[in-house]
C-alpha cells in the first residue's frame, strides 16, 4: 500500500488514465474526480429524484456525497463488456419474486428444484437460488440473552452480557413507553382538531390557521405543529410511532427475553459446528416485515435501466440469497457455514450487513473468513449502528477480521461506515460506528431507497445500506477486471475514494469531531468512478496495491 501511495497521488493524477478493456474493447481516456475541497455543500433539500438516487451522485458535480455511479456508467462503462459476478447476500430472506430482482438471481443449474434431493452433491438440498440456514425461524434473542440462558462462556463474559442486556432492556422499555405516550397525545390532538374543523381530513395550513383561546385546543395545535416537523402528514407520524412501538416491543419480547428460544423450530444445536443437517433450500423472506435482505440486494443489483423502481450499483451481477440473519442476533455457526457455502458455490463477493457485540464461537467465523481469503472471495461488512468507536475494546462488532486494533487475520474484509446525503461536518451518519483501525471506508447509508418485499420500494438507513453500496462497486470492478484479487479490490476501493480533510461529527456528538482519516483506515468516501481508473492501472501493472 505504501508503494501504491508513492506511485499515485490520490485524486490528483495530472495525466489522463487510459483504460484498456481487453481484446476488441474501446479505449477510453478519463481523469479522476478531484478538487473536492472546493465543493460547495448543497443548501437546498434533495428533490424526490435526488433523494431516491443520491448515493449514485457525483460529489463535485452535484454537491452530494455519492459514489459517482451515474458518472461512471456514462463516461467509463457505457456498453463495455464485462463478465457476470456472483455476490452472496448473507442476510434475512430475500423476495425472490421481486420485479427488480427476479432477473438478477444466481441459479444453481445443477440442482433440480423441489425434488428433495441434493442433485449436485454440495451438501445442500434444493439450493436453487441459495440456502436458508434459519429454517422456518425468524424472531431471535440477542447473543447476550443466549449467553445468560445457556450459561455460555466464563463468569466474566456472563457478567458483561448481563450488564449490557439489563441496560438495553431498560432503555427499550423506556422508549416504548415514551412512544406510546407520544402516540396517545398525537391521537388526542388529531381528534380535537378534526372535531374543531368538523371534518376528517386537514392540512398543515389548516392547523396553522386555527385561531382559538381554548387551552386544550391550543395544546392540540401545538402538538400537531411539532409533529409536522417530522412528517408531512399526521397519519405518517402515527405510522412512524406505531412502527417504533412495534420495534421496541419485539426487542423486549424476543431480543432481551432470556426465556425465549427462537431456534427450537430449526431443530439443530446452534453451538455444534458439526451439526449441519438443518435449514432448507428456500432463502425467501418468511414474514412481511422481513425486508432487510431484499433492501440490501436491491442496492447491489436491482435491475438497471428497466424503467421501474431504482437501479443497483452493479450491472453484470447475480445475487446468491443466503438466509442467515434472523430478527435478533445471528448465530456464529450460521455465519461460518454461510460464508463457506457462498465460497464453495461460486460467490466472488459476500455482503455481510449484520453484526453483534458478543461472539461465543468467533473462531468458527475467523476460520471461515480465512477460507474465503484462501479462495479469493471479498467480504464487505457493515460497521454497525451504535455510534461507537470500534477501536475501543468494549465496542466489539462481530464478525471482524481483527481483534481490537491488532493485525488483520486476512486481507479480504472491507468494513464500511455510513454517510448521509448532506456534504459537510454532519455527513457521517449519527448512528454509524467508526474506528481508525476497524473501519476501512465510508459510503452512502443514510435514508437509501431500495427494493422491499412485494414489488415495493422504500427508504431504509444504516451501515447495512452502506456495505452493499461498496459491494456493488466491488462487483463492477471484478466484472471488468477479473484478474484482480479480492485483496487488490479491497485496497483499490480504499485508495481511490475521495479524501475528506475537514473534520466531521462522529456518533452525532458535536464534541466528537475528527477527520475521516481519524475515523477510518482510508479516510475516504468510496467512489466507483475513481475505483475503475485505479483498477485499470493495477490490472495493467502500472500500480501495485
Assigned C-alpha cell, 21: 478493456
CA 161 to chain centre: 25
- The whole-number pLDDT of residue 288 equals 83
Instruction: Identify the pLDDT of residue 24.
Output: 29
pLDDT digits (tens, 9 = 90+) for 513-531: 999 999 999 999 999 999 9
**Whether the predicted pLDDT of 453 surpasses 80:** yes
Average pLDDT score over residue span 230-251: 95
* Residues 95, 99: Cα–Cα separation, whole Å: 9
Tens digits of residue pLDDT in 185-216: 999 999 999 999 999 999 999 999 999 999 99
What DSSP string runs through 90-136? EES---TT-TTTTTSB---TTS-TTSSS-TT-SS-TT-SSEEETTTT
Mean pLDDT for the stretch of residues 372-383 = 98
The gap from C-alpha 180 to its chain's centroid, in whole angstroms, comes to 29
Highest mean pLDDT among 19-23, 75-79, 281-285: 281-285
Q: At 457, give phi and psi (nearest 5°).
A: -145, 145
Beta strands at 28-30 and 17-19: parallel, antiparallel or unpaired: antiparallel
* Minimum mean pLDDT range among 35-44, 61-70, 327-336, 343-352: 35-44
The arithmetic mean of pLDDT across residues 22-40, rounded, is 50
Query: Taking the complete model, does pTM exceed 0.95, yes or no?
Result: no
* Collapsed DSSP state (helix, strand, coil) of residue 161: helix
- Helix (H/G/I), strand (E/B), else coil: 456: strand
Burial code (b: 16+ CB inside 10 Å, e: under 16) for 95-114 equals bbebbbbeebbbebeebeee
With 0-12 / 13-18 / 19 or more C-beta atoms within 10 angstroms meaning exposed / middle / buried, residue 417 is buried
The DSSP secondary-structure symbol of 42 reads P
What local confidence, expressed as pLDDT, does residue 114 receive?
Answer: 92
Residue 399: cis peptide before it, omega within 30 degrees of 0? yes
Kind and range of the H or E run holding 458: strand 456-460
How far, rounded to the nearest angstrom, does the alpha carbon of residue 533 sit from its chain's CA centroid?
25
Amino acid at each position: 500500500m505504501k508503494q501504491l501511495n508513492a506511485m499515485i497521488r490520490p485524486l490528483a493524477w495530472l495525466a489522463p488514465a487510459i483504460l484498456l478493456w481487453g481484446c476488441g474493447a474501446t479505449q477510453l481516456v478519463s481523469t479522476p474526480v478531484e478538487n473536492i475541497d472546493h465543493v460547495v455543500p448543497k443548501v437546498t433539500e434533495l428533490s424526490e429524484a435526488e433523494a431516491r438516487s443520491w448515493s449514485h451522485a457525483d460529489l463535485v458535480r452535484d454537491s452530494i456525497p455519492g459514489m459517482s455511479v451515474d458518472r461512471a456508467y456514462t463516461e467509463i462503462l457505457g456498453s463495455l463488456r464485462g463478465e457476470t459476478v456472483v455476490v452472496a447476500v448473507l442476510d434475512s430472506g430475500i423476495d425472490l419474486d421481486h420485479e427488480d430482482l427476479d432477473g438478477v438471481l444466481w441459479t444453481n443449474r445443477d440442482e433440480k428444484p423441489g425434488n428433495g434431493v441434493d442433485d449436485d452433491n454440495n451438501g445442500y438440498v434444493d439450493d436453487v437460488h441459495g440456502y436458508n440456514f434459519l429454517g422456518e425461524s425468524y424472531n431471535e434473542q440477542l447473543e447476550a440473552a443466549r449467553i445468560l440462558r445457556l450459561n455460555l462462556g466464563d463468569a466474566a463474559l456472563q457478567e458483561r452480557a448481563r450488564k449490557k442486556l439489563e441496560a438495553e432492556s431498560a432503555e427499550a422499555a423506556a422508549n416504548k413507553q415514551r412512544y406510546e405516550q407520544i402516540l396517545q397525545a398525537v391521537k388526542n390532538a388529531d381528534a380535537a382538531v378534526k372535531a374543531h374543523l368538523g371534518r376528517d381530513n386537514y392540512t398543515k395550513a389548516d392547523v396553522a390557521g386555527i385561531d382559538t383561546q381554548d387551552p386544550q385546543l391550543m395544546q392540540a395545535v401545538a402538538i400537531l405543529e411539532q409533529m409536522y416537523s417530522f412528517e408531512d402528514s399526521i397519519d405518517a407520524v402515527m405510522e412512524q410511532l406505531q412502527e417504533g412501538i412495534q420495534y421496541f416491543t419485539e426487542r423486549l419480547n424476543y431480543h432481551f427475553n432470556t426465556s425465549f428460544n427462537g431456534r427450537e423450530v430449526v431443530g439443530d444445536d446452534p453451538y455444534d459446528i458439526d451439526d449441519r443437517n438443518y435449514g432448507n433450500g428456500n432463502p425467501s423472506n418468511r414474514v412481511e416485515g422481513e425486508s432487510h435482505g431484499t433492501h440490501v440486494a436491491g442496492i447491489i443489483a436491482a435491475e438497471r435501466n428497466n424503467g421501474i423502481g431504482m437501479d443497483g450499483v452493479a450491472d453484470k451481477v447475480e445475487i446468491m440469497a443466503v438466509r442467515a440473519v434472523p430478527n435478533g442476533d445471528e448465530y456464529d455457526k450460521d455465519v461460518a457455514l454461510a460464508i463457506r457455502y457462498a465460497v464453495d458455490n461460486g460467490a466472488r463477493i459476500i455482503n455481510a450487513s449484520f453484526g453483534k457485540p458478543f461472539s461465543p464461537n468467533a473462531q468458527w467465523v475467523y476460520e471461515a473468513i480465512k477460507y474465503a481469503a484462501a479462495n479469493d472471495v471479498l467480504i464487505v461488512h457493515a460497521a454497525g449502528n451504535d455510534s461507537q468507536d470500534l477501536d475501543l475494546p468494549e465496542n466489539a462488532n462481530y464478525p471482524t477480521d481483527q481483534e481490537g486494533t491488532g493485525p488483520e487475520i486476512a486481507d479480504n474484509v472491507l468494513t464500511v461506515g455510513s454517510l448521509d446525503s448532506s456534504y459537510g461536518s454532519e455527513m457521517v451518519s449519527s448512528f454509524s460506528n467508526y474506528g481508525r483501525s476497524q473501519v476501512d471506508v465510508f459510503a452512502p447509508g443514510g435514508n437509501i431507497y431500495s427494493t422491499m418485499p412485494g414489488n415495493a420500494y422504500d427508504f431504509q438507513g444504516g451501515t447495512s445500506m452502506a456495505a452493499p453500496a461498496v459491494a456493488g462497486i466491488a462487483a463492477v470492478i471484478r466484472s471488468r477486471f477479473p484478474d484482480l484479487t479480492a485483496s487488490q479490490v479491497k485496497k483499490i476501493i480504499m485508495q481511490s475514494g475521495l479524501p475528506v480533510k475537514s473534520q466531521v461529527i462522529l456518533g452525532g456528538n458535536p464534541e466528537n469531531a475528527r477527520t475521516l482519516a481519524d475515523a477510518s483506515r482510508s479516510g475516504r468516501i468510496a467512489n466507483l468512478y475513481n475505483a475503475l481508473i485505479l483498477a485499470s492501472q493495477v490490472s495493467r501493472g502500472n500500480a501495485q496495491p
